[in-house]
Amino acid sequence: MVFVKRVAIIGAGVSGLVSVKSCLEEEFQPICFEKSSQIGGVWIYSENGTRGEASAMYNGLVTNSSKEMMCFSDFAFPAEHPPYLSTHHVIKYYRDYAEHYDIMKYVKFNTEVVDVSPTENNKTTGQWNVTVRQRNQEQLVEQTDVFDAVMVCTGKHSKCRIPEYPRMDKFKGQIIHSNTFRRGEDFVGQNVLVVGASHSAGDLATQCSQHTNSTYISLRNGCYVLPRRGPNGIPIDTVANRRFSCKIPGFIRSKMLTSLVESRMDLDNLSLRSDKKNFFSSSMMVNDLLPDRILNGTLKVKAHIERFTKNGVKFVDGTYIEDIDTIVFATGYYTSFPFISREIFDETKMELFKHILSPKYTTLAFIGAVGAVGSQGPVYELQARWTVSVFSGTLKLPDVNARQIHAKKRVDKMIKLYGYLKIKFAPVPYQEELANDIGVKPTLDMFLTDPKLAVKVFFGPAYPPSYRLKGPHTWAGARDAIMKGWENTTSPTRTRQITNQHDVTAHLIFIAMFLFSLILAIFFRN
């Protein structure tokens, strides 16, 4: 019988913070090792990166998920923060959270974990040797300690990914990764090619397009560009991530999102249309400016790169750009755990029970190794809560064989969807699954006990506090946070008193006209 008391938590980003908090709830003794000098992980913006390393954050970033969907389950965002947050809002929130729950005193800063290995008696005790390296006045000191369990929270942005292309070494211009991109102004007067179809690629390309001589974005398979504002101006993640809407079959949701994107832009005219029919397997980004930049001629969409030339690139459609000054690869990151050997865990396969637990070692968990189409923080929080209930023995696991089969199945499903290993999915069904395991999932009996709340919880946005209404470690403020979620999101922009009434008939006429013009636009393009 494994008995967990001391837990090593590696990293003090969002995942690390929620892991410390969850360990405290179970009365474990967490020690969190953070190699930098601050909490917050990727949200820490630095001009040149921490100790010379670059960081993923750039100037002018605004969250692609809305405020109330990004909050932790038991700590509301301040009402005065805008619905979409800048880096400093996010970091302030995480610091306030850490202070509120007294997390800081469990974090050992400037301490890098360099090795995690099972102890000799790991089979019976589940214990780990954790070796850390500390920088004390230019001196490196290494120390190894024994822990009952390990939660790896080192994020997914540690190793930059730059694809290889023929003749790349012959290129005379500058090649950088988005990791070192800080602001569009750094490229004044240049010709810049941004490569990638993710959120960052879109941001970097639109930023550059304001300052360069010309900016191009190269897309492998096209891309769906989602606006932050969904139907009727409601934050799109609050529309997509509802318990009710997640019950709609995937292929219909895929069509709904596609039509939403198409109602905002002509994907063919903008050269954006994805080669993939399924919205969820295609590249997507949240970006409000990109279509306009294409329309005003400051940004041009190009195909996938075939090869490099001396001063530019040739694309797969046979076209060339011959005078590129800088190529920015916004092509993402590899997940990497350099402190764990491949025999213990193979990061190239990412086979984890419920995307969290090493199937073989039930005291080794990975928090934040998945991507959600929406806010990440609340997903990682549930992963941490799920993990501590495994560590405490409250949540019983199937046998090792079943765990391995489950882990492989999940990964295979992802590979089938994307065509390569990428672990990213809609957050709500996964959150519900984890919440159900640990007994905090809202259930339909709420319609009898608290119908007003039930309507919000099941038909409204799946705000994270809905996982603090029942089961272990509830939060007294949860009901209020859900009921006031919308007000909390919108109040910062209600800065002028409105006297005129919201006109419902206008909506009805709009819907009728919209349907009619949709029919015209679909069948008679010009």
Ligand X SMILES: *[C@@H]1O[C@H](CO)[C@@H](O)[C@H](O)[C@H]1NC(C)=O
Ligand Y SMILES: Cc1cc2nc3c(=O)[nH]c(=O)nc-3n(C[C@H](O)[C@H](O)[C@H](O)COP(=O)(O)OP(=O)(O)OC[C@H]3O[C@@H](n4cnc5c(N)ncnc54)[C@H](O)[C@@H]3O)c2cc1C
Report how far residue 96's alpha carbon sits from residue 280's, in angstroms, rounded to the nearest whole number. 35
Among 373, 390, 414, 478, indicate the residue that binds ligand X (CB under 6 A): 373
Q: Based on CB atoms, which residue is closest to ligand X, 285 or 469?
A: 285
Q: Site map for ligand X, 279-298, x if CB under 6 A? A: -----xxx------------
Q: What φ, ψ does residue 374 adopt, rounded to 5°?
A: 145, -155
Cα angle 312, 318, 323 (rounded to 5 degrees) comes to 20
Among 82, 250, 371, 477, indicate the residue that binds ligand X (CB under 6 A): 371
Exposed/middle/buried for 383, CB within 10 Å: 0-12, 13-18, 19+? buried
Q: How far is the CB of 285 from ligand X (least distance, A)?
A: 6
Q: How far is the CB of 79 from ligand X (least distance, A)?
A: 23
Q: Based on CB atoms, which residue is closest to ligand X, 225 or 294?
A: 225
Q: How far is the CB of 13 from ligand Y (least distance, A)?
A: 2
Q: How far is the CB of 427 from ligand Y (least distance, A)?
A: 9
Exposed/middle/buried for 354, CB within 10 Å: 0-12, 13-18, 19+? buried
Q: Which does 373 bind (CB under 5 to 8 A by kind): ligand Y, ligand X, none?
A: ligand X
How far does Cα 496 stand from its chain's mean position?
A: 34
Reported as type and span, the H/E element at residue 315 is strand 313-315
Q: Which does 34 bind (CB under 5 to 8 A by kind): ligand Y, ligand X, none?
A: ligand Y
Q: Which does 332 bind (CB under 5 to 8 A by kind): ligand X, ligand Y, none?
A: none
Pick from 203, 198, 202, 196: which is nearest to 218 by CA? 196
Report how far residue 20's alpha carbon sits from residue 29's, in angstroms, rounded to the nearest whole number. 9
Q: How far is the CB of 182 from ligand Y (least distance, A)?
A: 12
Structure tokens at 237: 């993640």
Q: Across-strand partners of 357?
A: 353, 365
Q: Based on CB atoms, which residue is closest to ligand Y, 18 or 294?
A: 18
Q: Which does 14 bind (CB under 5 to 8 A by kind): ligand Y, ligand X, none?
A: ligand Y
Q: Which does 321 bind (CB under 5 to 8 A by kind): ligand Y, ligand X, none?
A: none
Q: Based on CB atoms, which residue is closest to ligand Y, 155 or 359?
A: 155
**Site residue total, ligand X (CB under 6 A):** 10
Q: How far is the CB of 371 from ligand X (least distance, A)?
A: 5
Report how far residue 162's alpha carbon sits from residue 139's, in angstroms, rounded to the nearest whole number. 33
Q: Based on CB atoms, which residue is closest to ligand Y, 219 or 285?
A: 285
Q: Based on CB atoms, which residue is closest to ligand X, 56 or 469?
A: 56
Q: How far is the CB of 30 from ligand Y (least distance, A)?
A: 14
What's the alpha-carbon Rg for the chain, to the nearest Å?
Answer: 24
Residue numbers of the site for ligand Y (CB under 6 A)? 10-16, 33-36, 41-43, 56-57, 61, 63-65, 70, 112-113, 153-155, 157, 200, 339, 368, 375-377, 380
Q: Which does 35 bind (CB under 5 to 8 A by kind): ligand X, ligand Y, none?
A: ligand Y
Q: In the sheet that 128-136 helps form, which strands lie side by side, from edge to edge?
A: 111-118, 128-136, 139-147
Q: How far is the CB of 466 from ligand X (least distance, A)?
A: 20
Kindly state whether residue 155 participates in binding ligand X, applying the rule CB under 6 A: no
Alpha carbon separation from 276 to 13, 221, 280 (Å, rounded): 34, 7, 9
Q: Site map for ligand X, 190-219, x if CB under 6 A? A: --------xxx-------------------
Q: How far is the CB of 90 from ligand Y (least distance, A)?
A: 8
Q: Which does 207 bind (CB under 5 to 8 A by kind): ligand Y, ligand X, none?
A: none
Q: Based on CB atoms, which residue is closest to ligand X, 64 or 362?
A: 64
Q: Check the CA dihedral 104-107-108-109 and report its sign.
A: negative
Q: In the sheet that 6-10 helps form, which strands lie side by side, from edge to edge?
A: 107-108, 29-33, 6-10, 149-152, 364-366
- Residue bearing tokens 């947050």: 85
Structure tokens at 19: 């892991």
Q: What φ, ψ does residue 429 adopt, rounded to 5°?
A: -60, -40
- Residue bearing tokens 């990727």: 42
Give, as one character, the DSSP assignment of residue 235: B
Structure tokens at 46: 């630095």
Among 64, 212, 215, 326, indicate the residue that binds ligand X (CB under 6 A): 64
Q: Which does 371 bind (CB under 5 to 8 A by kind): ligand Y, ligand X, none?
A: ligand X
Per CB under 6 A, residues contacting ligand X are 64, 198-200, 284-286, 371, 373-374
